[in-house]
Structure 1
């Protein structure tokens, strides 16, 4: 429901800037960061924002930054905050540190500004819970976090969230949740521009759902109605994060001695996998085990000889094929898998479907005439920051004509 609302606001913004031929060239990451942020704020935290209503740069009383500015500046300083020990921040507050001092000050100020906005939101939610007005909170996520924070300390059935844990969880859901979706959707849009046949299949799928065009509103029941019909669209998004996982490596500490089973294999001159041989790897308690997600997602044992190719069909089960769930770590796996997986898949599939139903996505004009592999290299470049981050992902959008 919220994705539909935000998508329509985004499309109106795009149309207002499009040329006379109804086309516009955009850096998709810049727009998608806002799209995913607005959806998460509304659906997860009950703070409904939009392109125009929340665009003010004037901070409210008691704040140094407006809400959107606080979020965007915090995101830009995430890596600095993650890599800098707390004692350096404490030192920089007392002693002038050349070069890094101003960066640390900006980082501290941005996190403090967002913290104040989050505390306002939490305070309002607490008041609603205490006053028995939980019906005012149309978001289960924030309500659950606040209620867990307000649980009695001696409640043996529920563990109480401390104030710091509550705030930390809000930060994690807000910042990590929308940024990873924005990056993955950016890669997906670039791939659709490069592979028009794949884009056409999504378009045909959306035509069956919305023959008269993408709807302007949606009801809460739309999820159950539409999601089963977006099978190929969902497969496109899953294939995207197989090729470009948000996190390329995960590390875990072994809490007990164990033994892992691994495999060696070779390939024939034609590329076929052969001579698969299992072997054991002993792991001692306290060892750090690193999972190379990118290597797993490219392993031909699980994904075939064409593992490096963009092929959404590999995520669609058939009577003779079941895609390898255990070889897909786009959201990690097991008890520590991403808690927002279902939300991210739903939001992203809906965003892709709405976009393709409304616009034709193509490569930008400056790539015209370049070989396909060169276009692919330029559009799909990325850098390993907090998450896998696309670089200069630019596409051309053209409004589709109404279906006769």
Structure 2
């Protein structure tokens, strides 16, 4: 018994000492932010996998880091910048929703480096452009950047892929004048078809892509492989490497079936990507690669080069696979989710339906008439202004790439940021916030897009006109961060915007987008709450985007 009491006393003393040490480290981390308001503790690192998995439920509504807070915390503290401390590691953390401060952080990429650890989930097959920094990132960027130059993207060649949506819907509408659909499910398919075709030369039809039977030599169809890999991404990331390796040799209890399904999903996707690579290599050797497969050509040529210098455009086999994986997944899922929100907005606001259709009907002379009208890269972004503005508005209120981004200051003598503070956030007065080396700087995208300093008191409302320049108004470009900013901005943003605008115009020309029956007659706020519901994660994902399409006559 004496030994037990001695052990208990020792344990209590150790815990007390550890607790005191932790308290002092948290206290030290909370200091040094000057007069920036302190919002307390962040219990989980907001950019690690566990936090993303728990994001729909934790942090709670009144806790710092709550994913659905929008601008609420900044309004509460009367500041466009608030400080906190992340419990794990006692990391000083800054949250900013100030356009100029964010511009500084995004543009000074050598000082505010990307938190690449947050993107380890995408390093399934190897390193890629999204999850690297410094010289490695520059090498990946040099390889991929020319492929996403707006002048070289041939969206017009892929109008058939978008047109498949209309054809499929028309088939389903043969017996009825309207059809209720899950917009996200159908739009994920069309954006996957387009990115796979425009970027990687995969020319499957809608029917082929919908078929459940895998092609010869494969265990799963292409779309099924992509979908199942996405669904099991967190399982793959959270599984320790030794457990993953062990599961290949023995069947583990409890985890065994999930790990087998995860492995089969990623192996099936790998097989499809290897097919694309094999075809592209044959095209490169034969000189048959056209501009519409430029993304894949650039990646494969970089893989085939003999240059050994890291600064040359060279990719290893693993890097080649990993970049294709990233572009396929990020390129289609984020576009589909953002486009789904845009479609939902049209159901909620019928006037926008009419305006977009009127713009869509006014494409350049010589285009076929509906429903054979085929918007292209040249005609759609320039003519369908309402489509563009609606897409930007939906991306602003629901930035599908995520509600926040993080940077890590690496220089000890970094000049302070200058966010704003005032009683009501309007016309904020700048103040100084020192930036600590090794801290977390959170670019709070959703809060920035809801900041009334830039977007007005109705920032949360659907108002595409706010993205239209007039004689006395220029919409605030620096306060729009849906595609990130600075050197690390989304490489495919022009492609994504042009593709989404074209797809939106195609849908609205043929159909009136309406509310589903179960939301008819409900108050607008209730309709919005249901239809625009989303969950955080790797991307912002719509959860109830069900709309009714009524064929135009």
Q: TM-score, normalised by structure 2?
A: 0.68
CA-CA distance at 1:166 after TM superposition:
0.9
Task: Decide whether the 8 Å contact of 2:199 with 2:296 is kept in 1.
Answer: yes
**Residue correspondence of structure 1 range 50-199 to structure 2 within 5 A:** 50-94=205-249, 96-135=251-290, 138-154=292-308, 158-199=312-353
CA-CA distance at 1:8 after TM superposition:
1.9
CA-CA distance at 1:218 after TM superposition:
4.4
Specify the SS of the correspondent of 2:481: coil
Deviations 1:128-169 (A, max 9, x none): 21233334x741111111111122224687231111111110
Change (3 A) 1:381 1:99: farther
Q: Which stretch of structure 1 is more off in the superposition, 255-264 or 324-333? A: 255-264
1:348 partnered with 2:348: no
CA-CA distance at 1:306 after TM superposition:
0.8
1:266 partnered with 2:423: yes
Aligned length: 393
Unaligned runs of 5+ in 2: 1-155
1:229 partnered with 2:383: yes
Which residue in the other structure is 2:448 paired with? 296
Task: Decide whether the 8 Å contact of 1:382 with 1:390 is kept in 2.
Answer: yes
Deviations 1:233-271 (A, max 9, x none): 10100110100011011112222232211111222xxxx
Which residue in the other structure is 2:362 paired with? 208
Change (3 A) 1:56 1:207: closer
- Which structure has the bigger radius of gyration? 2
**Residue correspondence of structure 1 range 279-318 to structure 2 within 5 A:** 279-318=431-470
CA-CA distance at 1:212 after TM superposition:
6.9
Unaligned runs of 5+ in 1: 268-272
Change (3 A) 1:304 1:350: same
Task: Decide whether the 8 Å contact of 1:232 with 1:316 is kept in 2.
Answer: no
Q: TM-score, normalised by structure 1?
A: 0.91
Task: Decide whether the 8 Å contact of 2:368 with 2:374 is kept in 1.
Answer: no
Which residue in the other structure is 2:134 paired with? none
Task: Decide whether the 8 Å contact of 1:5 with 1:216 is kept in 2.
Answer: no
Change (3 A) 1:87 1:216: farther
Deviations 1:7-26 (A, max 9, x none): 22221111111264421111
Which residue in the other structure is 1:336 paired with? 488
Change (3 A) 1:88 1:301: farther
Change (3 A) 1:176 1:84: farther
Change (3 A) 1:192 1:119: same
Task: Decide whether the 8 Å contact of 1:151 with 1:158 is kept in 2.
Answer: no
Deviations 1:272-316 (A, max 9, x none): x54622112222232221111111111111111111111111111
**C-alpha distance in 2 between matches for 1:87 and 1:327:** 44
Task: Decide whether the 8 Å contact of 1:79 with 1:385 is kept in 2.
Answer: no
**C-alpha distance in 1 between matches for 2:238 and 2:479:** 30
**Coordinate RMSD, CA, aligned:** 2.1
Task: Decide whether the 8 Å contact of 2:371 with 2:509 is kept in 1.
Answer: no
Find runs of 4+ consecutive structure 1 residues off by over 6 angstroms.
Answer: none
Q: Residue 30 of structure 1: which of 162, 165, 185 is its match?
A: 185
Task: Decide whether the 8 Å contact of 1:2 with 1:39 is kept in 2.
Answer: no
Deviations 1:335-375 (A, max 9, x none): 01111100100000001111111100000111122111111
Deviations 1:62-85 (A, max 9, x none): 322222221221122223334444
Which residue in the other structure is 1:389 paired with? 541
CA-CA distance at 1:228 after TM superposition:
0.8
**C-alpha distance in 2 between matches for 1:343 and 1:327:** 21
**C-alpha distance in 2 between matches for 1:84 and 1:321:** 52
**C-alpha distance in 1 between matches for 2:214 and 2:182:** 27
